[in-house]
Chain A
Amino acid sequence: AQSVTQLGSHVSVSEGALVLLRCNYSSSVPPYLFWYVQYPNQGLQLLLKYTSAATLVKGINGFEAEFKKSETSFHLTKPSAHMSDAAEYFCAVTSGTASKLTFGTGTRLQVTL
């Protein structure tokens, strides 16, 4: 069985501040981990994914995430928030031979002036 926990359903940061969205996973086999972003009234778009090639993964729009096996974490960061980053962010995991994604409950990011 696999699961994902996202700490903090709402995160608010000032424009230009560091963005840190937390994700912890549980998996009985080596996981593949994903971050998706959802803008209002839209579908989900892939930000980045970890597939065991490198522990530090860079994605689109300046986001990156680091896979830490010892902490079972895959936190998403961005050095400087922009107003356009306001959205809901989902961490997800697959494992084994299937592509079935298990999602966290999401974190809504608010960016203020």
Chain B
Amino acid sequence: NAGVTQTPKFQVLKTGQSMTLQCAQDMNHEYMSWYRQDPGMGLRLIHYSVGAGITDQGEVPNGYNVSRSTTEDFPLRLLSAAPSQTSVYFCASSTSGRVGGQETQYFGPGTRLLVL
């Protein structure tokens, strides 16, 4: 299994440009999520999904859109990039997000985004 994969590894954008960060998992996990990591702030939840067709907002959703059309993929879209979105983005997945909350979440290697 490849686990959780993310592309691209690094991206530079200009303010106002749009892009999609890709995330895929091959573990048949129901739950997938996106976090951003900023210095001194830990990781903060952007959006999450408990299954195909179901998404919800996390702590910092503004400026980001998501969709979940398949179990495997959970792309994160930036419609109009801003310098404040410069960050490292991590995708994670776990077996189920519907009950318990004790499941281990598996993280991808991250995407470094620089918005100029």
Q: Chain A residues in contact with chain B, CB under 8 A?
A: 9, 32, 34, 36, 41-46, 49, 51, 90, 92, 94-106
Contacts and interface: CB of A to CB of B under 8 A. Distances in A.
Interface in B61-109: 90, 92, 94, 96-109
Contact of A100 (B41, B58, B106, B109): B58
Interface residues of B, number: 30
Interface string B31-67: 1010100001111110010000000001000000000
A32 B45 CA distance: 17
Contacts, number: 71
Contact of A101 (B40, B43, B96, B100): B43
A44 B107 contact: yes
B97 A98 contact: yes
